[in-house]
Amino acid sequence: MQISLIQAILIALLGYLTFIHTPFLGGGLVGWYCIGRPLVSALFIGIILGNIPKAMELGLYIQLIFIGLITPGGSITPDMNLATYVALPLGVAANMDAASTVALSLIVANVANIMATPNFAMTMIPVNIQKRMVEEGKLEEAVWVPIWGNGVKFLFRFIPTFVCIYYGQAGIEWIVKNSPQWLIDIMTIFGNPMCLVGFAILLKLMVKKPTDLIYFTFGFALVGALGADMITVLVFALVIALIQFQIGRAAKKGGAV
């Protein structure tokens, strides 16, 4: 399929609005932590491109990569936002498989880190302007600096996203159609385990003691052995969590007595 100009603009605009430092879509709480998640973003990208099933399928794999993403000490990590809004639309448009889309998203995420330093450096320009306005007593003008100052974020977020998905589509389609089988095999080999890495990071954060792994193993058994769907697994998880909560509360009351 061909991504139209309007579709490219809408996707790039959504990518800008869901960036972590953009305040216009409910700030970081709504934009970044809700709509900006790859799986949620995939729904909106699928609606814009008119192919929700394919977008959700690819978005699920990208989400698995970044599911355990953390930024310790404010360190710069691979850019999940740009990876989603560049790789996912191109994957849908070129009908790429999950492994190829994952590999592309990792490339985009790491290349985006190169833009992070000049982005943060240029952000200091409106900050210094606002500081000078406050010192000069121009408080009413200083209030508007964070609004127009977001033009820096727009420059480093909207424009690269738009250029990549609108002008890069033909290149991606050509690469997919003309790539040798050995290259596709390499992308598949390196792309498939990436989801496991993200999930492993999440497990490392959630598992506090070895016995916690029993619950995760039980969930995998429900899906793998019994063929249970996610709703069924969720119901079991809620029941187990409620029972464990009640036991823990009863133990605390007994200890207090």
Write out pLDDT tens, residues 197-210: 666 777 777 777 88
Q: What is the mean pLDDT of residues 12-21?
A: 87
- Cα-Cα-Cα-Cα dihedral sign, residues 92, 94, 97, 98: negative
Element of type H or E holding 84: helix 80-93
Q: What angle do CA 211, 215, 221 make, to 5 degrees?
A: 125
Question: Quick check: 53 and 46 in contact, CB under 8 A?
Answer: yes
Q: What is the mean pLDDT of residues 66-70?
A: 69
Sequence spans of domains, the chain: 5-206, 208-257
For the stretch 155-204, pLDDT in tens is 888 988 898 888 876 766 566 567 677 766 766 666 566 556 666 777 77
Average pLDDT, the chain: 81
CA 5 to chain centre: 24
Question: Quick check: 93 and 49 in contact, CB under 8 A?
Answer: yes
Question: Measured between alpha carbons, how far is 235 from 244 in angstroms, rounded to an integer?
Answer: 14
For the stretch 105-135, pLDDT in tens is 888 887 777 777 777 778 788 888 888 889 8
Lowest mean pLDDT of 86-90, 226-230, 239-243, name the range. 226-230
Check residues 124 and 10 and name the one with the higher pLDDT. Answer: 10
Residue at 231: amino acid letter: I
Pick from 81, 64, 74, 75: nearest CA to 22: 81
**pTM, entire model:** 0.67
Check residues 112 and 141 and name the one with the higher pLDDT. Answer: 141
Q: What is the mean pLDDT of residues 40-44?
A: 94
**Does 46 have pLDDT greater than 90?**
yes
Structure tokens at 206: 């959630």
Question: Measured between alpha carbons, how far is 34 from 81 in angstroms, rounded to an integer?
Answer: 12
